[in-house]
Amino acid sequence: MTRLPNVTINMAMTLDGKVSRPDGRWYGLSSRNDKKRMDEIRSQAEVLILGKNSILNDDPVIHLRYVENGKDPRPVILLRSGTLPEDKKVFRFSKEPPLIFCLKKNYSLVKDNLDSVAEIILVQGEELNPREVLRLLSEMGYHEILLEGGPSLNDSFFRLDLISRIHLTVVPFLIGKNDLPSITGGKKEYPDFDRKNWNLVSSEVIEDEVFLIYEKNQVRLSQT
Ligand SMILES: NC(=O)c1ccc[n+]([C@@H]2O[C@H](COP(=O)([O-])OP(=O)(O)OC[C@H]3O[C@@H](n4cnc5c(N)ncnc54)[C@H](OP(=O)(O)O)[C@@H]3O)[C@@H](O)[C@H]2O)c1
């Protein structure tokens, strides 16, 4: 059986646990220190998985700006319906063409508009299952994966227990509006969430931000 790659997530959240503004985007809330940290984390990954809505809303820059001689991770995008505009920065400025995983139902559409800027991979079946994507990435020789959200995509990986490390930056703002997403979440809670705590392995304060690293713990044998 193929060993699945290590998957780390990296997210920034406000003091009230939100990861996007009321307009659905994340800009102006992360400091230069957080961007530097993000590049350091990116430089340790071979592959960077980005959410479709995050690309549509935030149009992130992928290449490393703060790590000298670092190698950009290869962008990976999961498209289970529709496609993306080819003028997004991920297609214009990535050193290696992004890898796109899609399904039979949107394969022709994706191929039609992104074939010249990305490598497109058809995943068998009706669902874009993250486990299958990781298996395919492993077969391609990728073993260190960074997932940068958004929360819907993070949730599909957390739900299958595929994440082993969380990098979390707490930024010094309160947004205050209900119903904005946190780092992950879907319609249902995770089974046994209160028996699967994460280990805090690092915490660092720089100016008004806190940089945390959590790693997956074993299931606790008894509850207190
Ligand atoms: N604060 C932070 O650190 C941070 C980081 C990243 C993003 N964000 C914020 O998060 C917002 C977007 O988050 P989001 O949750 O709306 O969207 P997202 O996670 O960026 O993208 C979700 C979309 O990806 C596609 N997808 C393909 N395969 C999937 C799968 N297996 N599971 C889930 N989705 C899959 C789906 O679109 P189709 O069904 O159409 O294919 C889905 O609607 C951004 O606007 C950004 O501001 C914040």
pLDDT band at 222; cut points 50, 70, 90: very low
Tell which atom from ligand 1 comes closest to the C-alpha of 12.
Answer: 3
Least confident segment among 184-188, 211-215, 217-221: 217-221
Assess whether the C-beta atom of 151 lies below 6 angstroms from ligand 1.
yes
Tell which atom from ligand 1 comes closest to the C-alpha of 51.
Answer: 20
Number of other CB atoms surrounding residue 31 within 10 Å: 17
Q: Which parts of the chain are beta strand (E)?
A: 6-14, 47-50, 74-79, 99-102, 119-122, 144-147, 165-171, 198-206, 209-216
Assess whether the C-beta atom of 83 lies below 6 angstroms from ligand 1.
no
List pLDDT tens digits, range 141-195. 999 999 999 999 999 999 999 999 999 999 999 999 999 999 999 999 999 999 9
CA distance 2 to 107: 26
Assess whether the C-beta atom of 152 lies below 6 angstroms from ligand 1.
yes
In the chain, where the domains are located? 6-216
What mean pLDDT is reported for the chain?
A: 94
Nearest to 18 by CA among 210, 182, 209, 186: 182
Q: Under 8 Å CB-to-CB from 94, ≥6 apart: which residues?
A: 62, 63, 72, 74, 75
List pLDDT tens digits, range 87-117. 999 999 999 999 999 999 999 999 999 999 9
Ligand 1 centre distance from Cα of residue 149 (Å): 6
What kind of fold does domain 6-216 have according to CATH? Dihydrofolate Reductase, subunit A (3.40.430)
pLDDT beyond 60 at 223: no
Ligand 1 centre distance from Cα of residue 59 (Å): 12
CA distance 84 to 148: 18
Tell which atom from ligand 1 comes closest to the C-alpha of 127.
Answer: 31
Ligand 1 centre distance from Cα of residue 175 (Å): 20
pLDDT beyond 90 at 220: no
Tell which atom from ligand 1 comes closest to the C-alpha of 26.
Answer: 47
Assess whether the C-beta atom of 54 lies below 6 angstroms from ligand 1.
yes
Measure the N-to-C terminal CA separation of the chain; round to a whole number of Å.
Answer: 37
Ligand 1 centre distance from Cα of residue 156 (Å): 10
Assess whether the C-beta atom of 80 lies below 6 angstroms from ligand 1.
yes
Beta carbons of 70 and 48 less than 8 angstroms apart: no
Length reported for the chain: 224
- Residue 224: per-residue pLDDT: 39
Assess whether the C-beta atom of 169 lies below 6 angstroms from ligand 1.
no
Instruction: Supply φ then ψ for residue 171, to 5 degrees.
Output: -100, 150
- Residue 1: per-residue pLDDT: 67
